[in-house]
Amino acid sequence: MSIEASGFLPINLLTGFLGSGKTTLLKRILVDPTFADTAVLINEFGEIGLDHDLVGSVDGEMVLLRSGCVCCTVRGELAAALKELYSRRERGLLPPFRRVIIESTGLADPFPVLSTIKADPVLRHHFCAGNVITTIDAVNGLRQLDTYIESNRQAAVADRLIVTKTDLEAGCEGAALQTRLRTLNPDAPILMAADPDLDLSSLVAVQSSVSPSSSLSQSGFYCEEPAELVSSDGAPHQAAISSISLSIDRPVDWTAFGLWLTMLLNRHGERILRVKGILNLSGEERPVAVHGVQHLVHTPVHMDGWPSEDHTSRLVFILDGLDGALLKRSFEAFTPARMPQIRSAASYPIAAAQ
């Protein structure tokens, strides 16, 4: 029986390490009319949730789980959000979406997320397993796999592995990365995000047949946890990982900011796993999205407009062993008034929204 006929709604989990391109891939999926009837749950690490703003306005229902990482602190919230989505759909308060995509945090261990869904009797009754789609950054992926157990788990559990950033000059770890991924996960197709022929429906597609009784119990979602990937202490995340959020309520000077960020990532990129933000720049109507992953600063992008009335600049940093208070002080020390010489520095290009 097909999933459509079974009545179960497939849940796809979009995972991948910090900054590896989950939200970018999600946006690409959601603008495709084929996926208009998709409900989306976004989970973020860090007290200011930004991804729903960065995804922008899309059809479908979007829920932000912002109080912590879904694999360790908001499992109950995830189950409640899925039940609420289903209930609103049943009552006609939402369009009859036909699939769910959960975007996890970049630090999420997929196993607890998946077992949360499996263990809940109500969820088992309405939902079935879709695919686990894991993004891997071609620039930072090998180092992340070497260093972080979460990255290994995300790759090991995937039904689809999507290598991102192969279009960047630095993103040429091809053969070594593929070999590592094959060792961790011999079965999942390895696809390239930059491939113009990438078939998005093969990512969120589900198994061609499912019996009603199998629902959430028979699929790649629930593969056995590989023993060598089980962390010894069972700690949800490495203790040194922390997040810090910064808000700035005055317009930001782009040149000074760009220089500060570049210098910061050059100096401390090993310990800055991720930075992302929305900036209100002096002299700019539209906000600009900034992204950095370790030493890599991505080209900033003009967004279409402010997602809400709030025009405050917001930045989130995920740090590994770096003191957030120091970072905050460094940021506060940066002002155009205190750094007049920076005004004449080379300007950093900003791309238009894609």
Decide: is 291 part of the binding site for ligand GTP (CB under 6 A): yes
Residue 314 touching ligand GTP (CB under 6 A)? no
3-state SS, residue 255:
helix
* Shortest separation between residue 139's beta carbon and ligand GTP, angstroms: 9
Pairing of strands 296-297, 288-293: antiparallel
Nearer to ligand GTP, 10 or 16 (CB): 16
Structure tokens belonging to residue 14: 């979009």
Task: State how far the Cα of 192 lies from the Cα of 198, in Å rounded to an integer.
Answer: 7
Q: Which residues contact 309 (CB under 8 A, 6 or more apart)?
A: none
Q: β-pairing, 127-137 with 9-16?
A: parallel
Residue 106 sits in the site that holds ligand GTP (CB under 6 A) = yes
Considering only 24, 43, 131, 243, the residue that binds ligand GTP (CB under 6 A) is 24
Q: How far apart are CA 311 and CA 285, in angstroms?
A: 10
Alpha helices in the chain (DSSP H): 3-6, 22-30, 51-55, 75-90, 110-119, 121-126, 141-147, 149-156, 174-184, 201-204, 254-268, 324-333
Binding mask 216-255 for ligand GTP (x = CB under 6 A): ----------------------------------------
Of the ranges 18-26, 86-94, 243-251, 320-328, which one interacts with ligand GTP (CB under 6 A)? 18-26
Residues 110-139 within binding reach of ligand GTP (CB under 6 A): 135
Please pick, from the candidates 99, 160, 237, 274, the single residue that binds ligand GTP as defined by CB under 6 A: 274
Q: Which is nearer to ligand GTP, 69 or 128 (CB)?
A: 69
**Tokens encoding 288:** 């600009």
Tell me if 22 contacts ligand GTP by CB under 6 A.
yes
Nearest-approach distance from CB 348 to ligand GTP, in angstroms: 14
Nearer to ligand GTP, 94 or 168 (CB): 168
**Dist CA 116 CA 71 (whole Å):** 9
Q: Provide the mask over 139-178, with x wherever binding to ligand GTP is found by CB under 6 A and - wherever it is not.
A: -------------------------xx-xx----------
CA distance 175 to 194: 16
Report yes or no: 77 and 65 within 8 Å, Cβ to Cβ.
Answer: yes
| Least distance (Å) between residue 20 CB and ligand GTP | 5
Nearer Cβ to ligand GTP, position 215 or 294? 294
Burial class (CB in 10 A: 0-12, 13-18, 19+), 296: middle
User: Closest CB to ligand GTP among 193 and 261?
Assistant: 193
| List 20, 144, 152, 185, residue binding ligand GTP (CB under 6 A) | 20
Binding to ligand GTP (CB under 6 A): which residues in 40-69? 51
In the complex, the smallest distance separating the C-beta of residue 249 from ligand GTP, rounded to whole angstroms, is 23
Question: What is the distance between the alpha carbons of residues 241 and 150, in angstroms, rounded to a whole number?
Answer: 12
Nearer to ligand GTP among residue 24 and residue 280 (C-beta): 24
- Half-sphere exposure (CA, 13 Å, Cβ side) for 308? 9
Min dist. Cβ of residue 135 to ligand GTP (A): 6
Kindly write down the DSSP assignment for every residue of 270-305, as one continuous string.
Answer: GGEEEEEEEE-BTT-SS-EEEEEETTEEPPPEE-SS
The minimum distance between CB 300 and ligand GTP, in angstroms, equals 8
- φ/ψ of 38, rounded to 5, equals -125, 130
Among 31, 72, 79, 194, binds ligand GTP (CB under 6 A): 194
Instruction: Report the residue number, 19 or 130, with the smaller CB distance to ligand GTP.
Output: 19
CB atoms within 10 A of CB 2: 10
Residues that bind ligand GTP (CB under 6 A): 16, 18-24, 51, 106, 135, 164-165, 167-168, 193-194, 274, 276, 291, 298
